[in-house]
Amino acid sequence: MERPIYMDYQATTPVDPRVLEAMLPYFSERFGNAASGGHAFGWEAQAAVKRAREICAKVLGAEPMEIVFTSGSTEGIGLALKGAAESCLQRGRHIVTCATEHPAVIDTVRHLAARGLEVTWLPVDREGSIDLRQLAAALTERTILVALMAANNEIGTLHPIADIGRVCRERGVLFFCDATQGVGKIPIDVRRDAIDILSFSAHKLYGPKGAGALYVRGKDPPVRLAAQTQGGGQERGMRPGTLNVPGIVGLGRACEVAAEELSTEAARLTRLRRRLHDGITRGVAGVALNGPAEKRLPGNLNLWFEGVDSAALMMEMKEVAVSSGSACASTEREPSHVLKAIGASDRQAHSSLRFGLGRMTTEWEVDRVVELTVRAVRRLRESAP
């Protein structure tokens, strides 16, 4: 059986061959522990980690010492939210976040709420955007942290992170940004955007799974995070443990490639996304876009198909790998919390599909997916009682 056309790039991405090439030596001949400072094997690993840290910092407009390597965004989010809350308890116990955040943020915030912190959940409009006036009104003297993502993983909405950062900075509140879907796809600069803490993951930008990074502002004034694990002094004590040198090398190279190609790849994916959208909507009626038409991730397209169950549609078009929502909640049959937050009914949420386009997506694949989707929707509607 031929492998399906991959259109789930918001869930994960294949490792770019250039990234794999950079990683391979660190599995074998350059296998040293970056904490081993007494011989050449350790020095090689240290130099590789240092280089990757410099690349990640440059991509974000940060300083190398502000980069903390993690196993990925979920760990980074937990360290950011729990670590900031724990270190700021003397100042206040109030957090502001949004109804459409990733489950890694939502579950961590609920964990903090169960331990006595107060949480304000900002609503969103039909396109998944927050109201900056509501954000400003939600901030109080006891607010210690605002947690809002750069780009939504389900419907592609881009939050105005520079405006959010400005509001937070003016009120002396920390701004944590989950930029898992944003780094390498849209321009992000932590200084310009007034971001205090930011997380991202290698496997969303053509790097390996199991590697990620957390930006933690180091000056004016420095942000303090309470470590959530103990057992060593690595990563300035914030994330102790043996460093994943091959993964870190892959993360650095993935960031480097993504930064070099960001503008051209964003334009290409936007064109392909519109081609996919136009082709499907020309082929069948009763299709609506979830999320904004323009201010969205270049490679994200989330569509509602009237009268068609998304699970049945995915079964009908097995030649295409797509998703009905977040990969972290894909085993659940509950309606998407993101689609519910933008006003979709349970039926509409269960009739929506997310198409994720990426670096390896071709025009031929887009046209083929249009053909397969249109055919599957027509067949399901014709067979419906």
pLDDT tens digits, 76-127 = 999 999 999 999 988 999 999 999 999 999 999 999 999 999 999 999 999 9
CB atoms within 10 A of CB 360: 12
286 in Cβ contact with 306 (< 8 Å): yes
| pLDDT for the residue numbered 218 | 95
Q: Distance (Å, rounded) from C-alpha 177 to C-alpha 140?
A: 20
**Which tens digit of pLDDT belongs to each residue from 163-203?**
999 999 999 999 999 999 999 999 999 999 999 999 999 99
Give CATH 3.40.640.10 domain extents, the chain.
17-257
What parts of the chain have a pLDDT lower than 50? 329-330
pLDDT at residue 330 in the model: 47
Containing 94, the helix (H) or strand (E) segment is strand 94-98
255 catalytic? Reply is: no
What letters, b where the CB count within 10 A reaches 16 and e where it falls short, cover 295-310?
Answer: ebbbbbbbbbbeebbb
Amino acid 35: pLDDT? 83
Helix axes 245-283, 363-383, angle to 10 degrees: 60
- pTM score, whole prediction: 0.94
The per-residue pLDDT for 332 is: 56
* Identified catalytic residue from 56, 177, 255, 328: 328
102: DSSP letter:
-
| CATH number for the domain formed by residue range(s) 5-12+262-383 | 3.90.1150.10
Q: Which CATH architecture has domain 17-257?
A: 3-Layer(aba) Sandwich (3.40)
**Amino acid identity at 106:** I
